């Protein structure tokens, strides 16, 4: 974490040094950058970046009008970042949605470790937002890995890692919904419907002539 803070202190596009990466680690992997918001399960930043934090999310209406931007913010339709942001605007118990959005709007990048350095234990009955217990992101962690972390050669996003994050977000979200559905007929139908409906919400992004059905807002 400190190495990342030192290395990219004067790199204006780098907003976050993240210590949490739930995907499988590959020997020889270096740290990497991605454009996608995140990194708040063990993270660091600089005053130059945090000074831009906007708790009130100024400009949200203009953002919502730009459906292509919404599509990108939602990891190309595979993560419900926008809905989460709208649900938690000015929620006194939430700060990270606003931070993620601001980093995205500033075209900021996150530096990730190639393997997890932290494990989130904030799940269970006493949790504010996650009382149902752990989820895939929390459970799929191996803290026994201990290899030197090499910094990336270039300050640019890793497209392969970004795609990996988007796909895993989509599948993991369905897995969590399925695990928590209680296997009642109604909840099973809701979980399966969500899996197929998610991509359809964004079909207007690729429609010609600017056709808009307002689907992405739902």
Please report the DSSP string for 3-64 in residue order: HHHHHTTT-TTEEEEE----SPP-TTPPPEEESSS---SSEE--HHHHTT--TT-TTHHHHH
pLDDT digits (tens, 9 = 90+) for 65-106: 887 888 888 887 777 788 889 888 878 888 999 999 999 999
pLDDT of 157 strictly over 90: yes
Structure confidence at residue 182 as a pLDDT band (50, 70, 90): confident
Q: What is the pLDDT of residue 87?
A: 86
Q: What is the pLDDT of residue 186?
A: 78
| 96-101 LR contacts (CB < 8 Å, sep 24+) | 96/40, 98/53, 98/54, 98/55, 98/56, 98/57, 99/37, 99/40, 99/53, 100/37, 100/38, 100/40, 101/37, 101/57, 101/60, 101/63, 101/73
Task: Write down the mean pLDDT value for the chain.
Answer: 81
Predicted structure pTM score: 0.78
* Arithmetic mean of pLDDT, 120-125: 82
Q: What is the pLDDT of residue 134?
A: 60
């Amino acid at each position: 974490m400190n190495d990342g803070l030192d290395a990219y202190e004067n790199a204006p596009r780098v907003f976050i040094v993240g210590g949490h990466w739930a995907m499988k680690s590959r020997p020889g992997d270096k740290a990497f950058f991605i454009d996608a918001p995140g990194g708040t399960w063990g993270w660091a930043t600089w005053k130059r970046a945090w000074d831009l934090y906007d708790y009130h999310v100024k400009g949200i209406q203009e953002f919502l009008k730009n459906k292509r931007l919404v599509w990108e913010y939602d990891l190309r339709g595979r993560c419900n970042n926008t809905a989460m942001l709208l649900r938690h605007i000015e929620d006194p118990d939430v700060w990270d949605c606003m931070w993620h959005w601001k980093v995205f709007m500033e075209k900021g990048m996150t530096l990730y470790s190639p393997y997890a350095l932290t494990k989130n234990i904030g799940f269970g009955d006493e949790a504010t937002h996650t009382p149902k217990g752990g989820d895939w992101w929390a459970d799929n962690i191996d803290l026994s890995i201990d290899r030197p972390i090499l910094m990336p050669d270039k300050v640019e996003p890793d497209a392969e890692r970004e795609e990996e994050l988007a796909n895993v977000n989509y599948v993991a979200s369905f897995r969590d919904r399925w695990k928590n559905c209680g296997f009642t007929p109604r909840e099973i139908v809701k979980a399966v419907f969500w899996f197929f409906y998610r991509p359809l919400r964004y079909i207007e992004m690729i429609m010609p002539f600017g056709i808009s059905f307002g689907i992405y807002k739902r």
